[in-house]
A = this chain, B = another copy of it.
Amino acid sequence: MKPTIIPFLTTRKLNPENQETPIHFLPQTITLKEYFFIRNHFEYPTQTQEAYFLPIVGEVIRPIIFKLEDIMRMPSKHLMLPLECSGNNRAFFHPKVYGEQWEDGAISQGLWKGVPLKDLLALIGLKRTALEVVFEAYDYGKRMDLEGDFHFARSLPIQKALHPDTLIAYELNGKPIPFKHGYPLRLIVPQWYAMASIKWVKRIVVIDHLFKGPFQEIDYNYYPYKDSDKGKTPVAQINVSSIIQQPQSYSILDNGKHVVEGIAWTGTGVIIEVEVSTDGGESWHKAILGQEQSHLYSWTFWKYDWKVSSKGEYLIMSRARDSFGNIQPFKAKWNRKGYGYNAVYTVKVKVE
């Protein structure tokens, strides 16, 4: 009998809890809940019965408090998609930036089930003044830069809120959403970084102006300069990206055949090509994509069979391209808070 060998989440912080998916060791399409990355701004909220009721108010014709059981009886939709923290790979920015030092595991894929938000909004009727939809969450706490307590809250432009795939979700991977991931109700915003997919939805408010909460206006913006807020733009769509899961960086391989493999994903269209270089970017080879494009949003497996006969050091790279023509850059666009990293993924190996 051999002992069980399993990977674990990588602990980045415990208070609040922030843990990373062991992405190099998970070949599955779906990330099991034990391995789903965890990202919190605050302590976990208290679990209350109140969370089974979802008020939608503001610039609406008939404000309604939806019951969870009513939501669960409405026509639903399944979406398989990765949630990626906008700070994924933050640790790899040069110059380095402050904040959680996520490496490449602040991303996980799940099968989400829920009701299109547009169907809820259709029931209550939007006023013509409706400009944005604000999602308030149950989690709250203090910020270092402002006085007082803040609930986590963010808005979507009305068009994105009405997109047929923007869901009020209540299931992950065929089960009620685990509490740590937003039970009972979580917003799911496909193609956007995961700060948009707020957990523990408390209340939805339709507003006639631009939402100015600190998680909208201060955090989750690209600040291109170290000492100035010039050029600030909001974080939204996921940048096209890929990672090499195996081999891992600074590993020693024997000469012979090796499979270079990983995943690729994008927030704009679908992945149409992944290229691999084994000579530091001089020459590129097409990887085999491991998945039909049936799921619009899900990540794509890829692999490349590498035959190496000469000993030495090798820089292996992966570079994904999407149907919007976006391609991973050699260097990620630096920004002060470290969002949206998507540089060509590079591992260095030695063949002995």
Contact = CB atoms under 8 A, between A and B. Distances in A.
Interface in A54-102: 91, 96-99, 101
Contacts of A349: 98
Contact of A13 (B9, B10, B46, B248): B248
A266 to B, nearest CB: 27
B5 A17 contact: yes
A101 to B, nearest CB: 5
A330 interface: no
Interface in A7-41: 7-11, 13-15, 17, 19, 22, 24-25
Contact of A144 (B1, B7, B8, B352): B352
Nearest to A45: B2
A144 B96 CA distance: 36
Give the residue among A11, A15, A96, A249 with the most B Cβ atoms within 10 A. Answer: A11
Contact of A145 (B91, B97, B352): B352
Interface in A155-204: 179-180
A306 interface: no
Interface size class of A (residues with CB under 8 A): 35 or more
Given A11-B8, A22-B11, A144-B252, A180 B352 contact: no
A180 B5 CA distance: 10
Interface in A80-138: 91, 96-99, 101
A47 interface: yes
A44 interface: yes
Contacts of A148: none
A251 interface: yes
A317 B198 CA distance: 38
A7 B14 contact: yes
A8 B10 contact: yes
Contact of A3 (B11, B22, B180): B180
Nearest to A348: B96
A286 interface: no
B98 A252 contact: yes
A250 interface: yes
Contact of A25 (B9, B11, B99, B348): B11
Given A11-B25, A144-B352, A352-B145, A250 B5 contact: no
A186 to B, nearest CB: 15
Contacts of A305: none
Nearest to A24: B11
A85 to B, nearest CB: 15
A22 B234 CA distance: 34
Which 4 interchain pairs have the tightest Cβ spacing? A8-B8, A7-B11, A5-B17, A98-B350
